[in-house]
Amino acid sequence: MQQDRGTAAPRKFPTISSDQAQSLASQLKRKIKGEVRFDPGSRALYATDGSNYRQVPIGVVIPRDAEDVIETAKLCHKFGAPITSRGCATSLAGQCCNVAVIIDYSKYMNKILEIDPVRKLARVQPGVICQDLRCAAEKYHLTFGPDPATHRWCTLGGMIGNNSCGVHSQMAGRTADNVHELDILLYDGTRMTVGPTTMAELDATIRQGGRKGEIYARLQSLRDCYAGLVRERFPRIPRRVSGYNLDELLPEEGFNVARALVGSEGTCVMVLEATVNLVHSPPARSLLVLGYRDVFSAGDHTPVIAEHKPTGLEALDFKFVDDLKLKGLQKNHIKMLPPGKAWLLVEFGGNTKAESDEKARMVMAKLRLKPGAPSMKLFDDREEEEEIWHVRESGLGATAHIPGEQENWEGWEDAAVPPEQVGDYLRGFKRLLDKYHYVTSLYGHFGQGCIHCRINFDLKTAEGIRKWRGFLSEAADLCLEHGGSLSGEHGDGQSRADLLPKMFGRELIEAFEEFKGIWDPDWKMNPGKVVRPYGITENLRYGSTYRPPEPETHFKYVVDGFSFSHAMERCVGVGECRRHESGTMCPSYMVTHEEKHTTRGRARLLFEMLNGSELRKEGWRSEAVKESLDLCLSCKGCKGDCPVHVDMATYKAEFLSHYYHRRLRPVHAYAFGLIHKWAHLASFMPKIANFFGQHAMFAGIAKKIIGIAPQRKLPPFAEQTFKDWFRSRKVPMTLNDKPRVILWPDTFNNYFHPQIARATVEVLEDAGFKVEVPEANMCCGRPLYDYGMLDMAEKWLKNILDTISPAIQDGTPMVVLEPSCATVFRDEMGNLFPHDQNAKRLKQQTFLLSEFLNKHAPDYPEKQLDEHAIVHGHGHHKAVMRMTDEEAVLKRALPNYKLLDSGCCGMAGAFGFETGDHYDVSIKCGERVLLPEVRKTDHEILIVTNGFSCHEQILQQTGRKAMHLAEVLQMVMREGHVRLPEKAKGRESTPDVTTRPRKRWRWVAAGA
């Protein structure tokens, strides 16, 4: 059930046959309330984690409660099936993939059961997201200290499994240091609560007998046998994560069985509940950023700074920042860094801002006296501090898939040394990298001596893998020479477990094996990880036998070397698409909490479609891939939010084009995909079309035939199209000598909302431009992509390139009002026609209205409104064009606005009109942020958004009519007053609109 892709012969661990797996699945479905998924698609979905490894599981169980986990363990024990526990699967060492039954706790077992602020304890289920616990604890001025860069989506169960750390482990230690008690389940069905144990309690437990008494007696014997070696060989450093925590069984540590199990990576027990410690959360924070001439000098200063007990002490080197720049990430935030080639980010906490600032200034004064004193910048603005931390948290995304560079991989990404050794260790590590001709950026938790890096290993050839294995051996030796730990955060899993004898010696490895055997004598808990492990070069996701097919595609995948298969390698499993609370990616996951609806899950299934033994048989006709992509809204949120720019909207269009090749599509695909043709026909008799579309009886029949949700209303056609209006108007003679600009008459603003296009003409002419509109009946084909109609999309785009070729070659700019249409010209077109010079020119000449004004009329408008507004950004706008230009224009024209972090509105073109799951997901997406915000907003406050689908979602669910930016600017022209200098206004530019005095809102119909 697994395929070795490395150079070594695979190590075999007992598993079960396919027939036994099906019998197990059948019994599980009868016995548990949760979900049982042993189908090929689900198994493929869970075949890998964030590491270099891939193992197809036996099946997946998603339990609803602890009783489901107990029943699952009972049945797995009956069949002899191994078990692997899984949180959000961002593990980098391979511990979350195995030939086992995967138990995924994240969907249902994710509750905070209790917070005791007096005792500073929290009781949680294993699927609780770290950030959710931290936010809940903040109500009591408490926090859970460890916070990995993935803290907004990683789970407590995963953190307990890996002994995770993070920025604020500087003040609170590892997860092990913050666990009070664990409610655990053994493979044999034994359930017990474990924690610190006094000598009296230990004696009583052993005397009581039973399975728990037996385990405690054997643990005591193990401790007594190996205590001397543990004290001698366990490095006394802040970030010793490698190996089992046998040191926690020592008498001086209180025989803490719970903490001994933290970091055991699911190889010993399952965690049903955890009681964890909370620590004081300083209400005030100050961030000091220090710039150094190189990362080694930054490392040398780390111990000096650590003496002042910062709450966080992180580092970035110049390559980390350069990689961010190359990928277009965090551009504005990087500019805030002080001069240097490496930076330390030092956070201090206090009860007041003055107190935390004073701590920072003390360090600044001390460093000024040191040789090689750094440049310094103390941040006092909370938003700026958060922006700098976002730069640091971009680590994995910043260092993966760098344009123009070799691929970078984990594999030696988190070794830790004593903080006082950081500078010297890094110098030695750089020499080792040079010896092997490897390149990497260096960053991490320098305050605790933990170094992160992704290195340009070659993991696809036998020679490259041998070279990597040799490097790992020497890197381990170097780390241990400096008194370090092979893992300082991510665990051993499979990627470092083979190296543990170097660190601990053969006797302690035997102690680790005995420790596992005490808990798991059947050797069925996540076998092959940590102890008696698979070899480092086994089970590689790629390996020397990796040979993906190269199918012919419509899109050319320019940024992926013109290779669809390479594009399917883009996802590195960081899991940022599993966020629930912010951003645009991924709207369907935000409401379903299903792994298959994450960007990562969809990318993994597409990879398996090319490379997996089961899904590869179905290829483009894979129903598992089709099902996963079905709830993708094609919002492009992933292209903007994903740190490695996975572009699922493009992959979905590509897949559907092949899936439906020589097949009929559903009726709604032709109804919505060809909306331009139907709208053009309706424009000849709009009143008749609207009669049938708006009359309840006829509309009901039409919706049933097409597959439109009965709750939806069909948008009415305009009685006069924009192009008809434009043809009939008289252009003022004064505009003849003005610069020309094309206004693209997209389907939605031509046939449905012509008032927006009319407002745009008025605005552009007021700004000093002569507007031209193409006469030909053309469409960019945006809706075609949602249904994979790429043959037709290519033809329509070629027609556009030919028809407006003279204007393109003259360099005439083109303003596009609908963000999704703009992305066709800015994104899809170049990917379809990468070598067409006109396509390249048109991409550069296509602007949204705000972009055009900012570039060609940067002071426009010269007037502004006193109205207040909330602004929702269209998904394509945020992902491809960003909101920077939009906000710049709004600050000039309508400064009292609030930009919502509302993600996708949920309508997403025709997605929200379609019946069934599409409609349900659409409403849930809208109800997450946008629709409640609109409902609670007074009617005097403007609702601003540029997308047709966003307008429809808001109108149909709230009754509120939203405005396009063009209509706002038209309103400014007609009712605004001359803009005063900012200082003269005496107000901030982006207020909380709910607390400002409001003026009466007067709706001005654009074009009236």
pLDDT above 50: residue 992: no
CB 561 within 8 A of CB 403: no
- What does the angle CA 653 – CA 399 – CA 262 come to, to the nearest 5 degrees? 100
pLDDT tens, residue by residue, 44-56:
999 999 999 999 9
pLDDT above 60: residue 3: no
- Residue 826, classed as helix, strand or coil, is helix
Q: What is the spatial distance between Cα 803 and Cα 797, in angstroms, rounded to a whole number? A: 10
Q: Which of 73-82, 121-130, 518-527, 638-647 has the lowest mean pLDDT?
A: 638-647
pLDDT tens, residue by residue, 525-540:
999 999 999 999 999 9
Q: Parallel, antiparallel, or unpaired for β 814-815 and 740-743?
A: parallel
Average pLDDT in the chain: 93
Strand partners, 35: 62
Q: What is the mean pLDDT of residues 674-678?
A: 97
pLDDT above 80: residue 914: yes
CB 216 within 8 A of CB 222: no
Q: What is the mean pLDDT of residues 782-792?
A: 97
Q: Which of 940, 939, 932 is nearest to 900 (CA)?
A: 932
Q: What is the mean pLDDT of residues 900-922?
A: 96
Q: Which of 211-215, 386-390, 775-779, 886-890 has the lowest mean pLDDT?
A: 386-390
pLDDT band at 898 (very low <50, low <70, confident <90, very high): very high
pLDDT band at 486 (very low <50, low <70, confident <90, very high): very high
Q: Tell me the helix, strand and coil percentages in the chain, rounded to 5.
A: 45, 10, 40
Placement of tokens 């032709």 in the chain: 670
Q: Which of 363, 490, 443, 522 is nearest to 50 (CA)?
A: 490
Q: What is the spatial distance between Cα 153 and Cα 814, in angstroms, rounded to a whole number? A: 41
Q: Which of 11, 142, 32 is nearest to 76 (CA)?
A: 32
Q: Which of 911, 442, 843 is nearest to 633 (CA)?
A: 911
Write the CA distances from 262 to 52, 81, 162, integer angstroms. 23, 23, 7
pLDDT above 60: residue 991: no
DSSP 8-state assignment for residue 537? T
pLDDT band at 380 (very low <50, low <70, confident <90, very high): confident
Helices (H), 437-499: 462-481
Give the residue, 996 or 848, on which the prediction is more confident: 848
Question: Angle, nearest 10°, between helix axes 506-519 and 210-233?
Answer: 160
Helices (H), 612-733: 615-618, 623-630, 637-641, 648-659, 667-673, 675-682, 686-694, 696-706, 722-728
Write the CA distances from 228 to 198, 223, 492, 595, integer angstroms. 20, 9, 23, 45
Placement of tokens 């709009």 in the chain: 686
Residue 995, CA atoms < 13 Å, CB-side half-sphere: 4
CB 138 within 8 A of CB 95: no
Q: Which of 583, 599, 595 is nearest to 878 (CA)?
A: 583
DSSP 8-state assignment for residue 824? I
Strand partners, 375: 291
Give the other-Cβ count within 10 Å of 709's Cβ: 16
Six-digit token string for 556? 């050319």
Q: What is the spatial distance between Cα 468 and Cα 449, in angstroms, rounded to a whole number? A: 23
Q: What is the spatial distance between Cα 35 and Cα 319, in angstroms, rounded to a whole number? A: 45
Six-digit token string for 735? 């505009």
Q: What is the mean pLDDT of residues 974-1003?
A: 50
Placement of tokens 């480092």 in the chain: 536
| Amino acid residing at 50 | G
pLDDT tens, residue by residue, 20-42:
999 999 999 999 999 999 999 99
CB 753 within 8 A of CB 787: no
Q: Look up the pTM and report it.
A: 0.93
- Residue 642, classed as helix, strand or coil, is coil
DSSP 8-state assignment for residue 540? B
Q: What is the spatial distance between Cα 222 and Cα 257, in angstroms, rounded to a whole number? A: 13
DSSP 8-state assignment for residue 420? G
CB 644 within 8 A of CB 571: yes
pLDDT above 50: residue 146: yes
pLDDT above 50: residue 989: no
Confidence at residue 990, expressed as pLDDT on a 0 to 100 scale? 42
Give the full edge-to-edge strand order of the sheet including 375-379. Answer: 375-379, 284-292, 342-350, 312-317, 443-445, 450-452
Helices (H), 173-294: 199-208, 210-233, 257-261
CB 64 within 8 A of CB 125: no
Write the CA distances from 77 to 15, 67, 522, 586, 947, integer angstroms. 12, 15, 9, 37, 54
SS (H, E, C) 343-360: EEEEEEEECCHHHHHHHH
Q: What is the mean pLDDT of residues 940-958?
A: 97
Six-digit token string for 583? 């951003």
Q: What sign results for the dihedral spanned by CA atoms 444, 446, 451, 453?
A: positive
pLDDT above 60: residue 186: yes
Q: Which residues, 6+ apart, have CB-to-CB distance to 968 below 8 Å?
A: 865, 869, 890, 893, 894, 942, 944
pLDDT tens, residue by residue, 546-576:
999 999 999 999 999 999 999 999 999 999 9
Confidence at residue 95, expressed as pLDDT on a 0 to 100 scale? 97
Q: Which of 208-222, 294-308, 370-384 has the lowest mean pLDDT?
A: 370-384
Q: Which long-range contacts (CB under 8 A, 24 or more apart) does 107-110 make?
A: 107/35, 107/62, 107/593, 107/594, 108/34, 108/62, 108/63, 108/64, 108/65, 109/63, 109/64, 109/65, 109/66, 109/69, 110/155
Q: Which residues, 6+ apart, have CB-to-CB distance to 783 below 8 Å?
A: 672, 673, 674, 675, 676, 747, 909, 910
Phi, psi of 737 (to 5 degrees): -100, 10
pLDDT above 60: residue 282: yes
Q: What sign results for the dihedral spanned by CA atoms 143, 147, 153, 157?
A: negative
Six-digit token string for 798? 């070629």
CB 648 within 8 A of CB 599: yes
